[in-house]
Amino acid sequence: MPLICLVRHGQASFGAEDYDALSDLGREQAGAVGAELARRGLRDPLLASGTLTRQRDTARLLAESAGFEKPSIEDPRWNEYDHVALMSRYPHPWPDGRADSRAVQEVLDRALGTWIEDTAETGPAGWPAFASGATAALGALSEALGKGRDAVVVTSGGVLAALCGSLLVLPPASVVALNRVVVNASVTALVVGGSGTSLLTFNDHAHFTGDRRRLLSYR
């Protein structure tokens, strides 16, 4: 059965002019998760990513570290939602007037929950379109694999939360909770079988424990 390893991109550049660029830590995380995936002995892994810079660069660095072939598939359906636009569309008060990364996460959590529950938004800007796009990308990748081949996909936390929420039939609050805790360069593993796709592990970041704990980040 094909194994699909969904990797969240390395840390982006919060507070910088170009948020989409990997930080120095993000580049190191990408190399570390590549080494971890090489250790797992994946079968002729097909490497895919979204089209965002942080996703593409993570995929490239991961491949170099793991000795995998360069990414062969780029699909915008693996891209993250625009968190800035989302917080603007569904505004919530900032906690204590702060604007640090923790405050941003709190406001984003509320906006994301409102977006998921906004049943009036049925167009391309709605949560159903975002989540179904991720599901369709997963389905297309699964069909491309066939038997005896695994895949690695570099994507983002919102996509991971949407897919896991769908597979586990979770309520909106639980999807928001998943989104909040996804570690940069963590691995979520899915197995594709005759009865469908199943979640094996979520947010595995054991490669950031012990003397590599300094690489652990959530934002």
For residue 101, being part of any structural domain is answered with no
Average pLDDT over residues 4-10: 98
Specify the range with the lowest mean pLDDT, choosing from 27-41, 90-104, 123-137, 140-154: 90-104
CATH value at residue 56 = 3.40.50.1240
For residue 84, being part of any structural domain is answered with no
For residue 53, being part of any structural domain is answered with yes
Rg of the chain, C-alpha, whole Å = 17
DSSP string, 53-114: HHHHHHHHHHHHHHTPPPP-EE-GGGSPP-HHHHHHHS--PPGGG--SHHHHHHHHHHHHHH
CA dist 197 and 129 (Å) reads: 20
Is 80 exceeded by the pLDDT of residue 6? yes
For residue 157, being part of any structural domain is answered with yes
99: pLDDT confidence band, cut at 50, 70 and 90? low
CA dist 43 and 178 (Å) reads: 28
97: pLDDT confidence band, cut at 50, 70 and 90? low
For residue 86, being part of any structural domain is answered with no
214: pLDDT confidence band, cut at 50, 70 and 90? very high
CA dist 151 and 170 (Å) reads: 25
CA dist 13 and 11 (Å) reads: 7
For residue 148, being part of any structural domain is answered with yes
Which token pair is 214?
A: 């300094």
Complete edge-to-edge strand list for the sheet that includes strand 196-204: 73-74, 46-49, 151-155, 3-8, 187-193, 196-204
Is 70 exceeded by the pLDDT of residue 98? no
- Mean pLDDT of all residues belonging to the chain: 93
For residue 7, being part of any structural domain is answered with yes
Is 80 exceeded by the pLDDT of residue 101? no
Domain total for the chain? 1
For residues 5 and 194, the answer to whether their CB atoms sit within 8 Å is no
Is 90 exceeded by the pLDDT of residue 204? yes
Average pLDDT over residues 101-113: 90
For residue 137, being part of any structural domain is answered with yes
Predicted model pTM = 0.94
Q: Write out pLDDT tens, residues 11-45.
A: 998 766 778 999 999 999 999 999 999 999 999 99
Average pLDDT over residues 139-150: 91
What domain range includes position 15? 3-79+125-166+184-215
